[in-house]
Amino acid sequence: MQLLDAPLAIVDLETTGANASWDRVTEIAVIEVDGGELSGEWSTLVNPETTIPPAIQALTGITNDMVAGAPTFGALSRELHERLAGRVVVAHNARFDYGFLRQEFERAGMRYVARTLCTVKLSRRLYPGHARHNLDSLIERHDLRCRARHRALGDADAVWQFLQVAAAEHGAEALASAARQVAKQPALPAHIGREAIDAVPDAPGVYLLYGEGGAPLYVGKSINMRTRVLSHFAGDLRSSREMQLAREVRRIDWQRTAGELGALLREAELVKELAPVFNRQLRRASEPCGFVQDGVSLRLAHADDIDADAVPHLHGVFRSRRAALAALRGLADEHGLCLQTLGFERARSRPGACFRHQIRRCAGVCAGRESVEAHRARLAAALARLKTIAWPYRGPVGVVEEDRERDASDVHVVHNWCYLGTAKSESELAELIEGSARPRFDLDQYKILARHLLKGRARVVELSA
């Protein structure tokens, strides 16, 4: 089938801005093409249910007064959905228009999936000798007639004229071949249909890839889940591991979050809970521990001992006992500390200098060559080199993350660097604050929270326990 023989919907939208997550549509135009012939035109202003910025009003000529009495997208969504059904959506910068359509239909409670063709990409392929391919350039280059620039029907009609000119200059077969190339989608795994990909929203969250029998293969996160999922199946997969993942995946699931922080925290939770075989970083064995000072000696606090109350008293947080002891030996060598006195080396059967003192690595508190007070002072200096965890709040806090598209917020509850959970309502928030379960310290979540909170960009609300 040639391109112009397929049922087309040439679409153009005017909007309040460039971000489909929170900007809204102000005008829609659809030109229907069947069998290569124009079969219908339809356009309408749309009440965006928000204010149109002055700069956008100046660009499009669409004012707040003009759209005040227009139907909302929700009111016309069913008619538009039927009009677009079964048609290839053609648009200049199709990602923009198709993204807005999907978001607006989702707000209206409807699912919309379509094949798309971007005429910006089509122009680049057909006319590679030209540097610019925006609509103004096409209008000038091909002597197209535009009824009204930056109005939906005028711009859609200019795109329709471009398709006709391209067919006349290159031939229908060449046009169809170029269209197939620019519309080429990533090669999906044999067991994954296009509808499974299209169901993943262009929104923040975590996605889960499952294999045969429901075995978890991979957990990932992104501020745009659909784009990230598609990247796993791109034709230029860079490693045998990625190719193996693409071969084994059988099902895709996803969980939406308000933003990036929620996605990071949920990913860390799910990786530890499901232990997917293709996740390495977050699923590796981790038994966090840190040092607690007890007079002249130190005590190693292990994962079972670390909770919200214990975290502020730790000196350093390490992924394993082995890593903690390696760090301590390095400090001991640098500061002349006695591991025997600190409690990390077995004492000799007879009082006297430890082995490290004999090889001149210990300053000799064990042999009476220095005072306990002097050793304690050097220990304090050494511990100061470790990053001491200092919780900067008086009690538990809520880190507020807003989902502007859904006009909602998630509140991530944290106390002493321990993540207690995410609340989406007042009742869930109260349950998390008053919960009786002892919060566990997770090193990966600590690093995520520290990066966000210490930047000072997060909106933090102190909570009363």
Amino acid at 136: D
CA-wise closest residue to 164 among 142, 182, 184, 134: 142
Q: What is the model's pLDDT at position 319?
A: 80
Contacts of 147 (CB under 8 A, 6+ apart): 153, 154, 157
Q: How far apart are CA 311 and CA 390, in angstroms?
A: 8
CA atoms within 13 A on the CB side of 260: 7
Query: What residues act catalytically?
Result: 150
Do residues 450 and 417 lie in contact, with contact meaning Cβ atoms separated by under 8 Å? yes
State pLDDT tens for residues 79-117: 999 999 999 999 998 888 998 999 899 999 998 888 889
How high is the pLDDT of residue 367?
84
- CB atoms inside a 10 Å sphere around CB 128: 9
308 — phi, psi (to 5°)? -60, -35
DSSP sequence for 205-218: EEEEEE-GGG-EEE
Is the pLDDT at 389 greater than 70? The verdict is no
User: Is the Cβ–Cβ distance between 421 and 413 less than 8 Å?
Assistant: yes
Q: Look up residue 59 and give its two tokens.
A: 């660009």
Dihedral sign from CA coordinates of 52, 53, 54, 58: negative
Question: At residue 181, does pLDDT exceed 60?
Answer: yes
pTM over 0.75: no
Q: What confidence score (pLDDT) does residue 236 get?
A: 46
According to the model, what pLDDT value does residue 398 have? 92
Asked if 462 and 395 touch (Cβ cutoff 8 Å), the reply is yes
Angle between helix axes 73-84 and 94-107 (nearest 10 degrees) is 120
Residue 12: the pLDDT is: 97
Q: What percent of the chain has pLDDT over 90?
A: 43
Residue 207 identity:
Y
pLDDT in tens, 306-352: 766 677 777 878 888 888 889 889 889 888 999 988 888 877 666 67
What distances in angstroms separate CA 372 from CA 39, 292, 296, 383, 415, one per listed residue? Answer: 94, 18, 7, 16, 36
Residues sharing a CB contact under 8 Å with residue 168, sequence separation 6 or more, in sequence order: none
Residue ranges per domain, the chain?
A: 3-182, 194-274, 289-385, 397-462
Query: Letter for the amino acid at 452?
Result: H
Q: What is the mean pLDDT of the chain?
A: 86
Closest by CA position to 321, among listed 294, 289, 282, 286? 289
3-182 matches 194-274 in fold: no
Question: How many percent of the chain have pLDDT more than 70?
Answer: 91
Strand partners, 116: 89
Residue 149: the pLDDT is 92
CATH of domain 194-274: 3.40.1440.10
Rounded CA separation 33/8 (Å)? 5
pLDDT tens, 362-376?
998 888 888 988 998
pLDDT at 279 over 90: no
Measured from the Cβ of residue 380, the count of other Cβ atoms closer than 10 Å reads 12
Which residue, 86, 48, 43, is CA-closest to 67?
48
Task: Give the SS3 label for residue 281.
Answer: coil
| Mean pLDDT, residues 48-75 taken together | 96
Higher pLDDT, 430 or 281: 430
Residue 237 has pLDDT above 50, yes or no: no
Distance, CA of 119 to chain centre: 29
**Residue 130: how many other CB atoms lie within 10 Å:** 12
pLDDT in tens, 396-451: 899 999 887 777 789 999 988 888 889 988 888 888 888 756 677 788 888 898 88
Mean pLDDT of 391-400: 87
Q: Which ranges of 146-224 does DSSP label H, i.e. alpha helix?
A: 152-170, 172-182, 194-198
pLDDT at position 377 is 87
> What is the pLDDT at residue 50?
95
Give the Å distances, CA to CA, from 333 to 263, 326, 338, 344, 361: 42, 11, 9, 14, 6
pLDDT over threshold 50, residue 453: yes
If you average pLDDT over residues 208-220, what whole number do you get? Answer: 94
Class level of CATH domain 3-182 = alpha beta
How far the first Cα of the chain sits from its last, in Å, is 67
Secondary structure letter of residue 286 according to DSSP: -
What integer pLDDT is reported at residue 1 of this predicted model? 45
3-class SS of residue 121: helix
State mean pLDDT over 226-243: 72
- CB-based burial, 391-402: b 16+ in 10 Å, e otherwise: beeeebbbbbbe
- What digits encode the pLDDT tens for the residues 8-35? 999 999 999 988 878 999 999 999 999 8
Q: How far is CA 291 from the centre of its chain?
A: 34
Residue 445 near residue 419, CB atoms below 8 Å? yes
pLDDT tens string 125-147: 999 999 899 999 999 999 999 98
What CA–CA distance (Å, rounded) separates 56 from 202?
24
Task: Please name which of 33, 32, 53 lies closest in space to residue 43, comparing C-alpha atoms.
Answer: 32
CA-to-CA distance for 182 and 216, rounded, in angstroms?
Answer: 34
How much is the pLDDT for 234? 64
